[in-house]
Structure formats: structure tokens, C-alpha cells
Amino acid sequence: MARGVGAPTTATSVRLASLDDLAAIEAIETIVFDSDRLSRRSLRYYLKSRTALLLVVGVNDRVSGYSLVAFRKDSQRARLYSIALDPAEQRRGLGRLLLGASERAAMARGAIAMRLEVRVDNARAIELYEKSGYRGFAVVEDYYEDGAAALRFEKEFALPSDREAL
């Protein structure tokens, strides 16, 4: 019997978000975060901003997650401001795929590193970041609305001369 005959195919892609994705991104934001949510207005702002990059990961043309990377004018460090996946799509490698795409997009904009904050109790995200080469360097007490602390992580990217050697 041929492999895949009769089995549904899954097409996964990461792309720049558009205004057409706003409702799906907002729905994911609402499902995933109990507090510290980005409002529809903020998400719309980031979609149009030159200092931010909003990516979506899609499975069969359905938005299954997003990442928001922010850039500051005089900094070579990008900031992963937010990353979220529809809970129904977790544990399928989409977070790793989206994180990698976010890093490549940041490097393409000239970033030499990316920083992020993550709740101290978000073990799954911490594991993803550590396996992806991020290193913790600070704890920020009372970072979130509910008073939870955050761990601050950073990953330095290979410099162009280092990339050529690979």
C-alpha cells in the first residue's frame, strides 16, 4: 500500500502577517493569555509598524500561531515581544518553526541577537528557548500584570563572517 494514500496532507508555512490575519491573531491571543494580552488596536498597530514584524504560522492555510518581533532604532538587538500557538496545534514543532523564522527575519533586518522575557512558570517555553540556544541572564520580579516574575533570555546570532565559515 502506498504511503499517504487517503491520509490528509498537512501544509505548514510561516509568512508575514497581514490585516486579514488580525481576527485569527486576536483569537489566539485571547485563548493563550489570561492577562497581559495585546489588544486588537495594538495588534493592528504592530501589523503596520516599521519597527515590528508580525509573522504567522499556518497549517493548511489556517493561522495556528504568531510571533511579534520588535526593533529599536539604535539597537542591534531584536526583541521577541510575543509568541503564541493555538493550544490545539502545540507539540507539533510549530513553536520551534516560528521561533526560527523570527530569528532569520531579525537577522535579515541586521540584528545580532534577540532577547525575550518569559514567565518563570512557563516550563514548555523555557525548554524551547534553551534548546534553541537562548541563555538566561536576568530575573525581573513583578514583570507581569498578575505579579509573576519573568526570566530574561538572549541568543546571539552568528556574525556574517562566522556564517561564511559554516
**Cα separation of the two ends of the chain:** 41
Using alpha carbons only, give the angle 3, 58, 40 rounded to the nearest 5 degrees: 160
| CATH number, domain containing residue 157 | 3.40.630.30
pLDDT at 3 over 50: no
With respect to residue 2, please indicate whether it lies within any of the assigned structural domains.
no
Determine the Cα–Cα distance for residues 156 and 146; give it in Å rounded to an integer: 30
With respect to residue 107, please indicate whether it lies within any of the assigned structural domains.
yes
Q: Which residue in 117, 143, 154, 156 is the catalytic one?
A: 117
pLDDT at 14 over 70: yes
Determine the Cα–Cα distance for residues 156 and 137; give it in Å rounded to an integer: 12
Kindly report the backbone phi and psi dihedral angles of residue 37, in degrees, each rounded to the nearest multiple of 5, phi listed first: -80, 145
Assigned C-alpha cell, 33: 493569555
pLDDT at 25 over 60: yes
With respect to residue 74, please indicate whether it lies within any of the assigned structural domains.
yes
Q: Is 133 helix (H, G, I), strand (E, B) or coil?
A: coil
- Catalytic residue check, 129: yes
Determine the Cα–Cα distance for residues 73 and 114; give it in Å rounded to an integer: 14
Residue-wise pLDDT for 80-126, tens only, equals: 999 999 988 877 889 999 999 999 999 999 999 999 999 999 999 99
Domain region containing 109? 12-165
Assigned C-alpha cell, 66: 504568531
With respect to residue 17, please indicate whether it lies within any of the assigned structural domains.
yes
With respect to residue 4, please indicate whether it lies within any of the assigned structural domains.
no
Task: Give yes or no for a contact between 102 and 67, defined as CB atoms under 8 angstroms apart.
Answer: yes
With respect to residue 7, please indicate whether it lies within any of the assigned structural domains.
no
Q: Which residue in 129, 144, 145, 164 is the catalytic one?
A: 129
Task: Give yes or no for a contact between 38 and 29, defined as CB atoms under 8 angstroms apart.
Answer: yes
- Catalytic residue check, 134: no
Residue-wise pLDDT for 122-164, tens only, equals: 999 999 999 999 999 999 999 999 999 999 999 999 866 544 4
Determine the Cα–Cα distance for residues 5 and 112; give it in Å rounded to an integer: 45
Share above pLDDT 70 across residues of the chain, in percent, rounded to a whole number: 89
Label the pairing between strands 77-85 and 113-119. Answer: parallel
- Residue 5: what pLDDT? 47
Q: Is 48 helix (H, G, I), strand (E, B) or coil?
A: helix
With respect to residue 31, please indicate whether it lies within any of the assigned structural domains.
yes
With respect to residue 5, please indicate whether it lies within any of the assigned structural domains.
no
* Eight-class DSSP state of 72: -
Q: What would the mean pLDDT of 12-18 be, rounded to a whole number?
A: 92
> What average pLDDT does the structure give for the chain?
89
Q: How many domains does the chain have?
A: 1
Residue-wise pLDDT for 45-75, tens only, equals: 999 999 999 999 987 878 999 999 999 988 9
